[in-house]
Structure 1
Amino acid sequence: MTTTSSVNNNTTTAGITNALQGGSASASDLQNSFLTMLVTQMNNQDPLNPMDNSQLTSQLAQISQVSSMQTMNTTLNSLLSQVSAGRAMDSAALIGRTVMVPGSSVSVASGVPSKIGIDLPSAADSVSVSVLDQSGNTVRTINLQGQAAGVQDVTWDGKNDAGATVADGTYTFKVAATANGTDVKPVALVYGAVQSVSGDSTGVLVGLASGTTANVNDVRRIL
């Protein structure tokens, strides 16, 4: 008497279903596995319990979708690489220019401080800029009222709160801003001359004369 293996639809396709759900195989691997199992099942199916065509069709559709998505991802990654390379080339035009980027350092040379600014995400009714020496002591507080949203320069004349010119050197500054008593999360900005352009996993970076770097996406102003 001839016997028939008990290879049914649920048994032969369980591995494919698990791979689809877990994402543990490529579309090509899934297609090859599917065809191999399909041929095996057709050769060994039980005449009294034939394979379920609807389930096989559904799984084949899933495999086709995975294949399409992987192809799309490959295409998108290629496009992103081209865009990144193009952006790096465009950013090279910034070399020699002065840009405004997030930062908190301000230097004073011959009594003249470097330029600083702020970025207000929304309008503020009260803005306070505090300049601190290297010991963390506040040497000057600049109060601004009724400031609109956006990037703005802050003028510091290089003097302390007593009206005396501060010593040359490096200082830091911090910004606080509120609207109706609520913090609007201002960003302190500094100016710097771009000397180089490079890139890493975070994107395109501009190297400044101060020795610091900033992501090109953080550039607020170009002079």
Structure 2
Amino acid sequence: MTTTTSVSSNTQSTQGINDALKSGSASAADLQNNFLKMLVTQMNNQDPLNPMDNSQLTTQLAQISTVSSMQTMNGTLTQLLGQVSAGRAMNSAGLIGHTVMVPGSQVSVKDGVASQFGVDIPSTADAVTVSVVDKDGTVVRTIDMKGQVAGVHDIAWDGKNDAGVAVADGDYTFKVNATANGTSVQPVALVYGKVQSISGDTNGVLVDIGNGQSAGVDDVRRIL
């Protein structure tokens, strides 16, 4: 009777390990500990005249070894990614102090002069318009760039509204609409900024251009 109870408990443990292997919810160390406990229980309670089939235990041991190897490999890859990112951050340190062009939509006006900005047009567009918007959401200037070929383009704004009157100094945003045969070509608004610092982690390398703005180093369109 005791043997029956132990074997039943062992069967439940086997099912638990199988479930953990399928769900990936347990670490390799936990699975190994459970496996050893189950193995000892089986050895202590199996019927010498009718020994239990160990093929399932062998299969589970191979699975546990695979899980352990994968977890070790994942940890190694994470470390390598961190090292690569740190290396890229060091290599990108040369950008500090340089003016770069990155995705963004903020533009400012100081002493009547607007900051530089632009647009990246993925494919040739037959119509490109730029709308400069103030902090209240009002469009103060619409710039018609006509048709443009694919590529990065500067946008010229003289700091005046549609009536030709200089706008107040301050912060503005801009939107770009570029279409080909009436369909958007998904333009990317760009701004210029001086790189203040470089940071890097497993997600990539970022360039900080001040005023709370940052962008991935791979998104830099121009370096001046």
Q: TM-score range by the shorter chain?
A: 0.7 to 0.9
1:101–1:219 Cα contact (<8 Å) kept? yes
Distance 2:13 2:138 in 1: 74
Deviations 1:53-80 (A, max 9, x none): 3222221121111011101111011111
Distance 1:136 1:33 in 2: 62
Counterpart of 2:149 in structure 1 is 148
Distance 2:202 2:77 in 1: 17
Distance 1:22 1:169 in 2: 55
2:118–2:191 Cα contact (<8 Å) kept? yes
Shift of 1:165: 4.6
Counterpart of 2:214 in structure 1 is 214
Which 5+ residue runs of structure 2 have no aligned equivalent? none
Counterpart of 2:3 in structure 1 is 5
Q: Does 1:32 align with 2:30?
A: no
What code does the residue aligned with 1:76 have? L
Taking the TM superposition and a 5 Å limit, the aligned residue runs for 1:196-215 are 196-198=197-199, 203-209=204-210, 211-215=211-215
Q: Quote the sequence identity (%).
A: 70
What code does the residue aligned with 1:73 have? N
Shift of 1:94: 1.5
1:203–1:215 Cα contact (<8 Å) kept? no
What code does the residue aligned with 1:157 have? D
What code does the residue aligned with 1:212 have? G
Matched position secondary structure for 2:52? coil
2:103–2:215 Cα contact (<8 Å) kept? no
Q: Does 1:182 align with 2:183?
A: yes
Distance 1:93 1:170 in 2: 29
Alignment length (residue pairs): 220
1:128–1:143 Cα contact (<8 Å) kept? yes
2:85–2:202 Cα contact (<8 Å) kept? no
Shift of 1:100: 0.9
What code does the residue aligned with 1:5 have? T
Task: Kindly report the root-mean-square deviation, in angstroms, between the aligned alpha carbons of the 2 structures.
Answer: 2.6
Distance 1:12 1:162 in 2: 80
Distance 1:44 1:22 in 2: 29
Counterpart of 2:127 in structure 1 is 126
Matched position secondary structure for 2:197? strand
Of residues 88-97 and 66-75 in structure 1, the stretch that sits farther from structure 2 once superposed is 88-97
Distance 1:40 1:75 in 2: 35
1:132–1:172 Cα contact (<8 Å) kept? yes
Deviations 1:99-157 (A, max 9, x none): 11222222234443221101223332211111234443333222223322332212223
Which 5+ residue runs of structure 1 have no aligned equivalent? none
Shift of 1:4: 6.7
